[in-house]
Structure 1
Amino acid sequence: MFKIGEFSKLTQVSIRMLRYYDETGLLKPAEIDKFTNYRLYATEQIPTLNKIIFLRNLGFNSSEIAVALKNWDDEFITYQLENKRLEIENMIKAEQDKLFKIELAKKDIRQGKIAINYNVSIKSIPSYQVFSLRRIVPDYYAEGQLWQEMSAFADENNIPISNNTFTIYHDTEYKEKDVNIEICAPVARMGKDIGEFTYRNTEPVPIMACTMVYGPFENIANAYLAFANWLQEHSQYKMTGQSRQIVHYGPWNEKSPDKYLTEIQIPLERT
């Protein structure tokens, strides 16, 4: 048996971390001296400690390491490593998005941009005969995947759809995850529902506030803020129903994000 200081030197792990692993239950001492209360460790514990260090260096937290130690086999650990890889990739993407927004902010400051004016117009939206796909997806970025699925399905089943597509957001509030999205493509005639792909008539909207957003999709957030100011100035209206979005010019028909054109539609009712 080795005292904690001796075990620390042999394993090149600090006493502080060994005590932490003890407190979290990841690596308890083999024995506690009943007279001195010294923590005592055995050489047989070194492989477990090596596993803890291995997973910790890959970004696993204490609870994840505990699960891995209890279920340690090649298949399970490979599965856990793949999940951690995907988690890290998502974290990297989120940080890259922040860097992109920082560069945009710096560019706007250099160009003296303070705000973009968004003109809000009111119009009536009729009912549309559409081919649609509605699903709860992880986040708003997943909408592109839905459009890819619809396009591939329409091609495989010879379903002619219009280019005047739009998206309906069925949640009444902004959500960071589990977003209820329905993508709609107007069609000349109705067909038979197949799985998640359905035909239906959308609801007409007598009063719809619309605003055009020019440039990258990042500008959409500012458009909603501008709409909030507009709504405060026009107190005869209040928001109701599901908002919609139409990307007139996007990645599929315009190379430059600066030339994207998105229409935001928000249903209203008179107070």
Structure 2
Amino acid sequence: LKSLGFSLPEIKEALLPENLEKLKKLYKKKHLEVQTQIKTLSRIEERLHYRTNLIERIQFLEENLKDFPELHIELKQLPGRQVVFTRYSGSLEFEYIALRIQELYSLVEKHQLDAYGPYMLLLHDSYEKTESIQLEMAITLREPLDKELSCIRSIPAGLYACTVFFGPHEKTLSAYQELLKWIKSHHYVPIGPVIKIYTKSLAFTDNREKILTEIQIPLAKLNSNIDTTLIPNAQ
């Protein structure tokens, strides 16, 4: 019984004579406890695996991006993402963003959500602005939530033009402009807010120049049925 994880009081109770029914209940209770522990350890294992892969990706990009003289742009088919988010009007100063991140994780803790991955910013405003910007701070949920919460929404699956870039927001403007040129030359049009994934945030470095973000712009093939005047960042 000790090898099965039973405590001394539980073992003592199990060894009482003519106690089969209590023994069965004791086994069932312990079985449920073990199942809960397995689920907890499995989630921890997944998070450790994810974070290890994230660090390896950061290291790979840091070692290889410097060898590319031009911006590397990819067209990706990304799956739908359910996220917990907070929307606000504010600046892109890191002190301000840090406060919004705290608010985001407070929502995760309050609603006991299983969130993972780097945080992201969704820009519902001009990319060039640095103050009074309409923003969303978000983080992905591991699995779809089966209940409705005002702080949960979905980012649609679809085509995204993507690139990675080092440095603070103001230095990524050139990468964003190159993305827009690429989108236009390949006959696409943006159909939603720009997403910035903070692959390497200030949690990994205190040097703003070493911050690594992935810029993602949702796309559709350009045609006469799309009214780009109604789409954020489509101009």
Please, what TM-score do these two structures have when normalized by structure 1? 0.48
Is structure 2 residue 124 aligned with structure 1 residue 170? yes
1:182 aligns with 2:136: yes
2:163 corresponds to which residue?
A: 211
Gaps of 5+ in 1: 1-115
Match of 1:159 among 89, 100, 113: 113
- How many Å separate the matches in 2 of 1:121 and 1:164? 20
* Residue type at the aligned position of 2:192: G
- Match of residue 205 from structure 2: 254
Match status 1:126 vs 2:79: yes
Contact 1:172 1:241 (C-alpha < 8 Å) held by counterparts: no
SS at the partner of 1:149?
Answer: helix
Scaled by the length of structure 2, the TM-score of the pair is 0.55
CA positional deviation for 1:176: 5.0
1:168-206 C-alpha deviation (Å, 9 max, x unpaired) = 22236654543221222222342553xxx61222222x2
More RCO (CA 8 Å, sep 6+)? 2
Contact 2:90 2:134 in 1 (8 A): no
Is this contact kept in 1: 2:84–2:140, CA < 8 A?
Answer: yes
CA contact (8 A) 1:133 1:184 kept: yes
Moved over 6 A (4+): none
Listed as ranges, the gaps of 5+ residues in structure 2 are: 1-68, 223-235
Identity rate, percent: 22
The count of residues paired between Structure 1 and Structure 2 equals: 151
1:87-236 pair list within 5 angstroms: 117-135=70-88, 137-141=89-93, 142-155=96-109, 158-171=112-125, 174-175=128-129, 177-187=131-141, 188-190=143-145, 191=147, 193=149, 198-204=151-157, 206-232=158-184, 234-236=185-187
Query: Match for 2:182: what amino acid?
Result: W
1:270/1:153 CA distance change after superposition, 3 Å: closer
Q: Deviations 1:209-238 (Å, cap 9, x if unpaired)?
A: 001002344421121232244345x24122
- Map 1:36-75; keep pairs closer than 5 Å: none
What letter matches 2:202 in structure 1? P
* Larger-Rg structure: 1
Deviations 1:113-140 (A, max 9, x none): xxx63111101122112212122x1323
Query: 2-side partners of 1:200 and 1:258: how far apart?
Result: 32
What displacement does 1:149 show? Answer: 1.2
> Deviations for 1:97-122, whole angstroms, at most 9, x for unmatched residues?
xxxxxxxxxxxxxxxxxxx6311110
